[in-house]
């Protein structure tokens, strides 16, 4: 078996391809938003929304810089060397910065008696499982993410099949990317200044407009531009809203685990949404049923967030008292 695997890796076989993508997926999952969101949410309180907004602009900026940089490296050194340069350069700098500066709330608080991990305010794990507010956030995030990510993957063929020229479709998609960066920052500021569930509800729910425009107003360029700007704006802030609401309703005691579950649901929705859209297209011969489902799903997701109760005010003194009682 070992010899077969060695031959597979040496020959560039399908097995090598599959194993490499599995390894990549596992590693990618371990460094996605759960890690840095936990650090940011645990460090900031009053300015948490804007801090999360600034943090999530990093991937957007990277998505802007990496393609041309990668193309330059491939043309100059070849694709194999490009991987090495990215790993040692981009990855190496990231590793160094994280090693020196990435800390979460637990790291910043002294440990009781020098041995027991610091206790932060928030829900216990069983309390989180029974929390109606967290359940609403989870369902809203899952439904909206599935519908909007499914739309994002299929948006280009939706536009071109409706008669939009490929060049115009590409330009329209780029508008969404720019709006996404703006959405992260604006939503972060709004989360800090108004009731977060109102901001989250409006951002999640307004995406329904995009679905309706794609159903009824595909022949109107102004409507398409407005719809894709709205979609890009909302797409840029959905993960940020989920993180903010999770931190607010769960507290920081077990935030890593709880937000990890939220992230897993988002990842599941990310894979399920495009599959559903493709299945609907293959079955019905068009995207309209999926688009109607998306409009309804976004309204449902926004309504669930609008119905959230006020956020609790977590008391650090109470958390420390709980630790003393346990000792």
Other CB atoms closer than 10 Å to residue 274's CB: what's the count? 17
pLDDT of residue 201: 92
Domain residue extents for the chain:
50-102, 125-306
CATH of domain 125-306: 1.20.1250.20
326 pLDDT above the threshold of 60: no
Mean pLDDT of 171-191: 78
259 pLDDT above the threshold of 60: yes
* pTM of the shown model: 0.71
Cβ-count burial 242-259 (b if 16+ within 10 Å, e if not): bbbbbbbbbbbbbbbebb
3-class DSSP assignment, residue 70? helix
36-90 per-position pLDDT tens digit: 666 666 666 676 666 666 676 766 666 666 767 777 888 888 888 888 888 888 7
113-125 per-position pLDDT tens digit: 444 455 677 888 8
């Amino acid at each position: 078996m070992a010899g077969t695997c060695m031959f597979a890796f040496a020959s560039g076989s399908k097995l090598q391809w599959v194993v490499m993508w599995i390894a990549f997926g596992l590693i990618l999952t371990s460094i996605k938003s759960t890690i840095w969101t936990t650090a940011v949410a645990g460090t900031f309180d009053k300015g948490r929304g804007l801090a999360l907004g600034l943090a999530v602009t990093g991937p957007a900026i990277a998505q802007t810089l990496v393609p041309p940089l990668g193309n330059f490296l491939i043309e100059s050194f070849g694709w194999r060397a490009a991987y090495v340069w990215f790993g040692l350069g981009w990855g190496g700098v990231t590793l160094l910065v994280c090693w020196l500066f990435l800390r979460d709330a637990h790291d910043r608080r002294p440990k009781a008696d020098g041995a027991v991990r610091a206790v932060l305010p928030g829900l216990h794990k069983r309390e989180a499982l029974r929390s109606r507010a967290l359940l609403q956030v989870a369902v809203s995030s899952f439904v909206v993410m599935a519908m909007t990510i499914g739309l994002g993957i299929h948006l280009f063929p939706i536009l071109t099949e409706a008669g939009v020229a490929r060049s115009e479709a590409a330009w329209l998609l780029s508008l969404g990317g720019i709006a996404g960066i703006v959405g992260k920052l604006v939503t972060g500021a709004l989360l800090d200044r108004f009731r977060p569930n109102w901001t989250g509800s409006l951002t999640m729910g307004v995406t329904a407009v995009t679905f309706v425009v794609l159903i009824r107003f595909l022949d109107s360029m102004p409507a398409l531009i407005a719809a894709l700007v709205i979609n890009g704006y909302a797409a840029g802030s959905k993960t940020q809203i989920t993180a903010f609401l999770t931190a607010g309703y769960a507290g920081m005691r077990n935030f890593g685990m709880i937000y990890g579950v939220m992230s897993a649901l988002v990842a599941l929705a990310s894979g399920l949404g495009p599959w559903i859209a493709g299945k609907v297209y293959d079955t019905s011969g068009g995207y309209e049923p999926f688009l109607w489902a998306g409009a309804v799903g976004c309204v449902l997701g926004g309504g669930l967030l609008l119905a959230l109760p006020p956020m609790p005010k977590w008391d650090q003194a109470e958390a420390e008292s709980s630790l003393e009682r346990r000792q």
